[in-house]
Chain A
């Protein structure tokens, strides 16, 4: 099939960007979205121009590298998939597809569709861990955890750190991302000892990075490729309250 791309082109962080049109011909419906972009880039390179830069690595929805706003929706319109798991069969002959980077103050654009998400790492640095050094830990089965709790913790831990939740949010809040980690560790006994400092420090870092506040629009949950639920935000809020009052 034939489609038209309107892709955001921005040479570097300092320069202004603009949309540029590209025709993509002979696209097979069985191509992945990124394979379509590969094909377009091959064409651009053959013409002697600079191809569209985008982050990607695993191409199976787990590393969290890929991510672009496709027709106004982070990771496109399909639910529960990352950009790399999107297939061209979901588009139609003659479609025009717009491509933009994540837009948020805390995610500066580095080039085209590549943004800097190291702000998310700094939130983890602030407290997204259990303070255990290597060695000197008890046998794994000394810490029994109910299957139900373990599964819920796993639901939260499934976050791939892609930042789509931020891109989806009108306030550019990172609340879903932060809550996923807070919730995972709040559910587990291992996280108990540091639970108060953790939530306070992570939220403070989120604010310091320039992410906005959460006003419960639920846009994040709708766009999350791992279907992380906003119930984790509710748990974060509870944790935060406990930390503040108790």
Chain B
């Protein structure tokens, strides 16, 4: 792969997804794009690069971008945000949404579905408190390929052994050949659709809880800031935002503030007091 092909494709991927590909990712690019080249009947990477350069069709550009996403995910990743969801966020919603009896959760980079299904299992385990409520879990990702997998809700033996307690496996999964399929009662709690975090999320609508985990780490600072500001724009004043363990809002957005003592959970900064609240966190 020559430098100019690498740069051209990196630029395309960055424009379409925000994902930053540093030069040490050249090897990764070759190994991820060779299968795409085969699928589109190109002889190899060089021919694919040429087609992309000549503004290949939308399907090709999308597949190239998709292939450069990192989709690693597991159930109850990092445990803490899910504990906070159960112990803090749900009781808050129970108290503060009792008149409308509804709230919405958005998983903004849901990958293969482990994150929204983890939240759905927590809700299911607590359903007695929410009888008659309308709770929506909307899960989106840029990659259509990974959304197919999420919708299917079938996981390998390795995937169901990372983060998922055995009691929840036997309660909510059935073995289907060598895959474990999530129960329909959990699957239908989650609505999937494609969404690009670079786009305006007003079509998503207001969300009381937003999980946007382990995706900002791949963006540059201006992109992180813009994404966080837009997410803040669709949250109510008492909304909750959960980020990944290696992600922070400090110095990135002053519309979002740290919640002291709650690792990974963020709230909206009050108008004009953002910096102060951040300093306190």
A and B associate:
no
Q: What residues make up the interface of B, taking CB atoms closer than 8 Å to A?
A: none
Q: What residues make up the interface of A, taking CB atoms closer than 8 Å to B?
A: none
